Chains A and B, each alone.
Chain A
Amino acid sequence: MKVAWKEIVKFKTRYLILGTIIFLISLLTMTISGLANGLSYDNASLIKDLPEGTFYMQEKSEDQYNLSHLDEKKMNKIREAAPEATFLSIQMGELENGNKNHSVVFVSTTNSSLFPKVEEGEVILNNSIMAEGVNQGDDLTNSLLDNKLTVEDFVDQQKFSHSSIAFINSTDFQKMYRTDTFQIAFVEGDDTPKFDGLTQYSNKDFLNTIPSYNAEQLSLNMIVIFLLVISGMLFGIFFYMINVQKLGTYGILKAVGMKTSALFKMMWIQMIIITFISLILSIGISQLLTLFMPEGMPFLLTIESASIMSLLFLGIGFIGATLSGFQISKVEPIQAINQGGV
């Protein structure tokens, strides 16, 4: 450890260059990962905040929640097998406040601890609507509904398909969309029952039924994967170049009896030190960046995702450095002795 650190200190410029490159790439990766997570949350926090469980939709709806209809008979069947089941409907729409229109996603549910309880004629809105001039107690209208909806309360970060959610009572929802059914059933837990004519979805599978969710996430995740691969290659190239310069030293150290594994260990320690410092800085700075990001830009970098990214960086750095280090095992002491040296 001491020898590895000594080398970094002695040749600080060369390791500073590698550290800076790794820091910049990891900062970019963390930032893009934060944006991907933020977008994902912005797209589907309604679903993402739910505990793990199973969603049910009508089989013939072909993965489109707005085409699914669970009639009373089906709902009773589900209730019999899973009394704690929650039924919900989701529909895009808009609310008017004076002359101003607000695009929202109406969500109506049966009584459940997972969603806020709303009385008929009331609406509970995602708090971002407050910035559009809507306040508690305001009366909002909708062209499909004769009665007004009074803003009862606001909730934090409840979005679906990048739109704010408006929780309304099922009676109001059924009046607006002329339906007497719910679209989706949700049962919490791992051991959930199966039903004929209904398709089951895990939380993750259900997210993919949201239009654009999959394409959006795939694009961003591909960028993250590319950046990880590039950082691995950078580690490989950098340590290859450093190892080429040090082949003479390695040869002499092997001649005097140093184990090849000790030389690899030295290289791995250097890789871990550089990656660790770069990651600490990039995580810290990516968090600081959120203070300067424009309001409304979705960014979410949790400790969990930052830790996973950091482990991936360390893993890829390890592979890159190890591949480049195969030269060490090939070094013949005799060649080093025959060359000049310090």
Chain B
Amino acid sequence: METLSINKLVKTFKDGNKEETILKGIDLELSQGEITALIGASGSGKSTLLTVVAGLQKSTKGKIIFEDRELTEMNPTQLRAVRAKRFGFVFQHAHLVQFLTVQEQLQLMVDTAELNWSKKKREEEIKSVLQAVDMWSHKDSYPDNLSGGEKQRVAIARAIIHQPSMLFADEPTASLDSKRSIEVIELLRSLSKERNHTVLMVTHDTDMLKYADRTVIMKDGVISES
């Protein structure tokens, strides 16, 4: 079953009179629960594709259909609501809020997703997710007191706490050493399989490809192999 369908997606950047087309008519379908790795050389358009599909940038042409709704037709408010409620994000850097503890980072995400959970349900879910990423013992720690790998685990917890349908991971292991990278990607895979998340992951690290169900290679703004 398809979660997300991309049809003839074009993204052109304008700089004065200069125009550069980064995505040149992308067609791609992502199935529910599938982990898709997007790989390609620098400038191939993989990160642009991820951000356009995630609603962080507008497309120039084409369609993105997510759960039977056309994202490309949505206004910024509608897109924000989809990002808050149905999408989860893991970036290259954890991008945690400096002044919130691990537990509070997740509480903030629950509030952002406007989930009407009872206090008990909220506490249970946060505990369950933090235990899943093995960070429950750090629940009262601030980001400054965590290692890079620990921060990324918290970022994964924040990305899944509101039970999104899709996870977008932009180079989630790029800032970690190889040992921590494997821990993080294994965690990402096990959690998304357990919770049936559809994952679109951009990576330049070929060692990560074995953790994906499918690899899409991009070259010069088009999909060269899928």
Contact = CB atoms under 8 A, between A and B. Distances in A.
A341 B112 contact: no
A337 B56 contact: yes
B46 interface: no
B102 interface: no
Interface residues of B, number: 32
A257 B95 contact: no
A256 B93 contact: no
Contacts of A3: 97, 100, 104, 108
A262 B97 CA distance: 15
Given A255-B56, A334-B51, A337-B170, A342 B81 contact: no
Interface residues of A, number: 25
A208 to B, nearest CB: 53
Contact of B95 (A2, A10, A248, A334): A248
A200 B174 CA distance: 82
Contact of B99 (A6, A253, A259, A333): A6
B66 interface: no
A256 B56 CA distance: 9
Interface string B133-169: 0000000001110000001000000100000000000
A249 B98 contact: yes
Given A253-B112, A334-B56, A337-B51, A258 B95 contact: no
Interface in B76-105: 80-85, 87, 89, 91-100, 104
B219 to A, nearest CB: 22
A336 interface: yes
A296 interface: no
A252 interface: yes
A10 B99 CA distance: 6
A256 B112 contact: yes
Nearest to B96: A342
B53 interface: no
B49 interface: no
Contacts of B87: 257
B96 A255 contact: no
B46 to A, nearest CB: 14
B85 A341 contact: no
B218 interface: no
Given A11-B99, A255-B83, A334 B112 contact: no
Main secondary structure on chain A at its contact with chain B?
helix
A342 B51 contact: no
B113 interface: yes
A261 B142 CA distance: 25
Interface string A9-32: 111000000000000000000000
B109 interface: yes
A132 interface: no
A7 B99 contact: yes
Interface centre among A6, A10, A341 (most CB of B within 10 A): A341
B57 interface: yes
Contact of B94 (A9, A11, A257, A342): A342
Contacts of B112: 253, 256-259, 262
A83 interface: no
A193 interface: no
Interface in A168-197: none
Nearest to B144: A342
Nearest to A8: B99
Interface in A229-268: 248-249, 252-259, 262
Contacts of B51: 334, 337
Nearest to A337: B91
B81 A257 contact: yes
A256 B83 CA distance: 6
B99 A257 contact: no
A329 to B, nearest CB: 11
Given A257-B87, A342-B94, 8 more contacts: A2-B104, A3-B108, A249-B97, A252-B97, A258-B112, A262-B112, A337-B92, A342-B97
